[in-house]
Amino acid sequence: MNKKEEYTPGMVTVIHTFGRDLKWNPHVHMVLSEGGIGNNGLWKPVNFVPYELMRKAWQKVLLENLENKIKKEKKEFKRLKNALYKRQDKGFYVYAEGEIATAKIAARYVGRYTGRPAIAESRIINYDGGKVRFYYERHEDGKRIEEEVDALEFISRVIIHIPEKHFKMVRYYGKKYKWM
């Protein structure tokens, strides 16, 4: 695209820290526009998104930003970063469901991940005063997995996902659109 215009896409991101099994699984859900706004304020649609490039770009941006924020253990992080580049040579995982048809559907998607607790009460099968039994559906094959853990272990798995006070779980980025 025209580099002089510096086209900027619109995006909304939601930080999500848990997987279905309540383990620590930090990842980002993102709604990204298929196009951008240039310095002239006009919208430029994009019909092709290079997912292979997106995977590598996401990896680079994330690792570079983390490296810039880390104050201590810089050498250890550089080793980890190099190992990640080697192990994840195709970049970090990007799953693209496809086009979201309406703003209402996009809002529903973002809302699903912002207001969602780490586990729904309905997934808790039993609590006997000492152990908690719950289930989740495994992502890979949809199989129902039941797990029983000590109540304190269960609580620790849940509270690790409570964000710090005033931490922004949702971020947005973009430029104002000039209507024609």
158 vs 117: CA distance, rounded Å = 9
List of E strands, the chain: 11-18, 24-32, 35-37, 43-45, 124-127, 131-137, 144-150, 170-173
SS3 content of the chain, % helix, strand, coil (to 5): 35, 25, 40
| Tokens representing residue 84 in the block | 């990640």
pLDDT of 177: 60
Residues belonging to the chain: 180
List Cα–Cα distances, 16 to 41, 138, 157, in angstroms: 32, 17, 14
pLDDT in tens, the chain (180 residues): 678 888 888 888 888 899 899 999 888 888 888 888 888 888 889 877 788 888 899 899 999 999 999 888 889 999 999 999 999 999 988 877 677 888 888 888 888 777 788 999 999 999 999 999 999 999 889 999 999 999 999 999 999 999 899 988 888 888 766 554
Residue 161 near residue 118 (C-beta atoms within 8 A)? yes
Backbone angles phi, psi at 6, to 5 degrees: 50, 60
- List Cα–Cα distances, 112 to 18, 74, 91, 130, in angstroms: 14, 36, 27, 31
- By CB atoms closer than 10 A (0-12, 13-18, 19+), residue 161 is middle
CA 78, CA 45: separation in Å to the nearest integer? 38
